[in-house]
Amino acid sequence: MQVLISGENLGYGKGNNLGISQVKTKYAFILNPDAYLDKNTLKELKNVKDLLQDEFSILSPRIVDNKKYSNLSDSENFFFIEVDFVKGFAMLLNLEKINFNEIFDKNFFLFLEEIDLCKRIKDSGGKIYIASNAKIYHDAKESSGSEFKIELCRNWHWMWSLYYYNLKHFGLFSAYKITLCKFISSLLKLLLSILLMQKKKYLIHKYRLLGLINVYNKKTSWLRPDHISNF
């Protein structure tokens, strides 16, 4: 087993690119530290891989959340189903079918990196599937922690990534249309939190606004948790 240590927080996309660059086989399996596989998950993924005869770009397990399936309806009884996108915490990548210089867009630091990848794959004619019998459990946010400054970082990057994703795929008008209403909403909520002296809500909406202001000004997704002081 080989462990790569980057020396800095690269973010999801750039970090995965680093790992994938060292893969010598035609497949790469991405698995986040807050995701847990069922004992038969890898076997079921292989079964579907063989059924598809490698005609896929991404194959993902079926999410189980509180013992309920959340990314397929209970009516789905197929071995696999084609979808437009999958969540990024568990993905089997068929590298021979993904013809990009870099798999993930390194401009994203947090949020929508896998949605962007799936969008590019679908636009280029690639196929994305979920293996119905391959189960995975995900404890959201467990890998990044629950400190308040991390929550502020998430809010900043969600707004930054939302604008950037829509700008990249749908153009300037769409990016502004989707985010301006969120900008106004956060501004109003920030003012209300000042009046009600709600410090945490004030900070959350402040960082949401700052994320949008940064991306509106064409600045990179530079914010990291250690840039935010303790409270």
Residues 170-202 have pLDDT tens digits of 999 999 999 999 999 999 999 999 999 999 999
What does pTM read for this prediction?
A: 0.89
135-165 pLDDT, tens digit per residue, is 999 876 555 556 899 999 999 999 999 999 9
**What pLDDT does residue 75 have?**
45
Which domains can be identified in the chain, with CATH numbers? 11-138 (3.90.550.10), 148-227 (no CATH)
> What DSSP line would sit under 180-195, residue for residue?
HHHHHHHHHHHHHHHH
For all residues of the chain together, what is the average pLDDT? 90
Q: Which residue has the tokens 């008008």?
A: 173
- Cβ atoms of 143 and 196 within 8 Å: the answer is no
More confident residue, 52 or 75: 52
Q: How far apart are CA 131 and CA 127, in angstroms?
A: 13
CA 219 vs. chain centroid, Å, equals 20
CA-based max dimension of the chain? 61
4-26 pLDDT, tens digit per residue, is 887 788 889 999 999 999 999 99
Q: How far is CA 20 from CA 14, 174, 214, in A?
A: 10, 32, 30
Q: How far is CA 228 from CA 66, 79, 206, in A?
A: 33, 46, 12
Pairing type for strands 128-138 and 58-65 reads parallel
